[in-house]
Structure 1
Amino acid sequence: MEKRDSLRTVRRALSILDCFSFQKQELSLTQIANEIELAKSTTTRLLTSLETEMLVQRDDKTGKYKLGTKLIYLGQIAKDAYQLKDVMAPLMKQLRDETLETVNLYTIDRVKRVCILQFEGYQPLRHAVRIGELLPLHAGAGGKVLLAYQSEQRKQEAIKDLTMVEQNERLAELQQIKESGIAISIEEREIGLAAIAVAVPNRDGSVTHCLSISGLVQRFSNEKINEFKQRLKDAVAQVEHA
């Protein structure tokens, strides 16, 4: 029952956001209540919650509401994510063609990571993940390089299922990864597989995406690892100047 009520509240709050458009950029309480067909008291409670989260903003003079500044921030993130895929696609294809290994673009999703773009390798035996598949943040090159740049709270949440010794070791490793911007995993998440990943910084310096090369561990010699590191660094440098 409680879960159903929570979902209903979320749907109602989202319906308020849907009231706004290019033609209706400012709305009064009465207009919003009529639009979503709820009592003014209920609508006021929803608007107060949205205002607290900066999703709507109330003009003290007119009493009217408009969309909040947080939506500008979220919209820019979404815009950058789509632009990033467009920028990354030719670079990733080139990386795959040069290394013959699978090249992935990951993004963070709470305490998981998800592959949003992939160029599968040409090797007869190769590694590939499903687009949209949720993978751990605390394990694997892609997960670790993303986690290294997150808040301490998110780090603790991601590694909470590890033993205390493992947690301390992982936190120390994450600090090293943050300093270098590169993570390596050798048979860490799956036996027989290896991967190298680099952070792809956002304009504000935060990190929500990473680029990785993965394949069979037998092909990841020290020489190849150094080569892949440099190729990944060069690719990210091109993104930063795009």
Structure 2
Amino acid sequence: MSNPIKPNEKTESGLRTVQRALDILYCFTVEEQELTLTEIANKINLAKSTTTRLLATLEQNDFILKDPNTLKYRLGQGLYYLGYIAGKSIKIREIAKPIMERLRDETRETVNLYILDKESRVCIEQCEGLQSIRHLVKIGEKLPLWAGAGGKVLLAYQSEAFQQQIFKQVPSKERLETLQKELPEIRLQQCASSIDEREVGSAAVAAPVFNINHEVTASLSVSGPTNRFTPEIINQLKELVKVNAMEISQKLGYRES
């Protein structure tokens, strides 16, 4: 007679099954939206027979769809529905606030979260710096996209047509030429810096916040008095801000390709 399965073994087996089902769902990407049974089994390093059983269960719950003609699998409408609910419940300010507070404590400078608002940017969340002299902006105040690190980061990721509209707002030819040269570099480095740009005596470093659709409609910035933002400090802040902005992005559902 075979030995009975112990309760903890049942639990472990159940957890393994859940993890394998999740592994199947994560096989699909923007580049690979349809996969064969063999491709899925190879990706998760599992026997085809086990993979087939897991796929059948996922299919019954509308998490996976199988094309009867090509026999390929793709994500189902059940996931779309859950994603829609998740998207509705995700609030960028709630996600960003603890990350911003941690970044503020680490840098001791003011941390701002900006969002794109038509042809401007608006600060929707702020963690004030811990130093006696600090840089602040008003929550809800509309600021330009063509000046300041937080604005330039947002502008760099918009369409060419949108950028052309913003270029009309730049007050001088010299500033426009500088901005046009900067934008491709900002996209390449995924960060921007500014010194005495929008406001004399203030400096900032900013990075893009990506959403689940790989769009940038928000930016995270650290700002303070110009005299504290030396080239060495700016380089350190760039790495810090990029890491924290990416953490916010990932919590919003963003996944790098």
Q: Same fold by TM (over 0.5)?
A: yes
* Structure 1 residue 84: Cα displacement: 1.7
* Number of aligned positions between the proteins: 168
Flag the 1:220–1:164 CA change in 2: closer, same or farther, 3 A: closer
In the alignment, the residues of structure 1 paired with residue 164 and residue 177 of structure 2 have an alpha-carbon distance, to the nearest angstrom, of: 10
Structure 2 stretches lacking a partner, 5+ long: 1-80, 252-257
In the alignment, the residues of structure 1 paired with residue 86 and residue 134 of structure 2 have an alpha-carbon distance, to the nearest angstrom, of: 32
2:208 is the counterpart of 1:207: no
* Structure 1 residue 83: Cα displacement: 2.0
Scaled by the length of structure 2, what TM-score is found? 0.61
In the alignment, the residues of structure 2 paired with residue 214 and residue 170 of structure 1 have an alpha-carbon distance, to the nearest angstrom, of: 19
1:60-79 matched pairs, under 5 angstroms: 79=88
Is the CA contact (8 Å cut-off) linking 2:207 and 2:221 kept in structure 1? yes
Q: Secondary structure at the match of 2:223?
A: strand
1:230 corresponding residue in structure 2: 239
2:228 corresponding residue in structure 1: 219
> 98, 110, 127: which one pairs with 2:118?
110
2:198 corresponding residue in structure 1: 189
Flag the 1:95–1:158 CA change in 2: closer, same or farther, 3 A: same
2:182 is the counterpart of 1:173: yes
1:144-183 matched pairs, under 5 angstroms: 144-162=152-170, 163-183=172-192
Is the CA contact (8 Å cut-off) linking 2:210 and 2:246 kept in structure 1? no
Q: 1:106 is aligned with what amino acid?
A: Y
1:12-161 matched pairs, under 5 angstroms: 79=88, 83-161=91-169
In the alignment, the residues of structure 2 paired with residue 128 and residue 165 of structure 1 have an alpha-carbon distance, to the nearest angstrom, of: 28
Is the CA contact (8 Å cut-off) linking 2:190 and 2:242 kept in structure 1? no
CA offsets, 1:17-63, max 9 Å, x none? xxxxxxxxxxxxxxxxxxxxxxxxxxxxxxxxxxxxxxxxxxxxxxx
Q: 1:144 is aligned with what amino acid?
A: K
Is the CA contact (8 Å cut-off) linking 2:205 and 2:221 kept in structure 1? yes
Q: Secondary structure at the match of 1:147?
A: helix
2:70 corresponding residue in structure 1: none
In the alignment, the residues of structure 2 paired with residue 157 and residue 240 of structure 1 have an alpha-carbon distance, to the nearest angstrom, of: 27
Is the CA contact (8 Å cut-off) linking 2:134 and 2:224 kept in structure 1? yes
Flag the 1:225–1:236 CA change in 2: closer, same or farther, 3 A: same
Q: 1:175 is aligned with what amino acid?
A: P
Percent sequence identity is 45
Flag the 1:131–1:79 CA change in 2: closer, same or farther, 3 A: farther
Q: 2:234 is aligned with what amino acid?
A: I
1:5 corresponding residue in structure 2: none
Scaled by the length of structure 1, what TM-score is found? 0.65
In the alignment, the residues of structure 1 paired with residue 211 and residue 169 of structure 2 have an alpha-carbon distance, to the nearest angstrom, of: 29
Higher-Rg structure is 2
In the alignment, the residues of structure 2 paired with residue 178 and residue 237 of structure 1 have an alpha-carbon distance, to the nearest angstrom, of: 14
Q: 2:245 is aligned with what amino acid?
A: V
Q: Secondary structure at the match of 2:91?
A: helix
Cα-Cα RMSD: 2.1
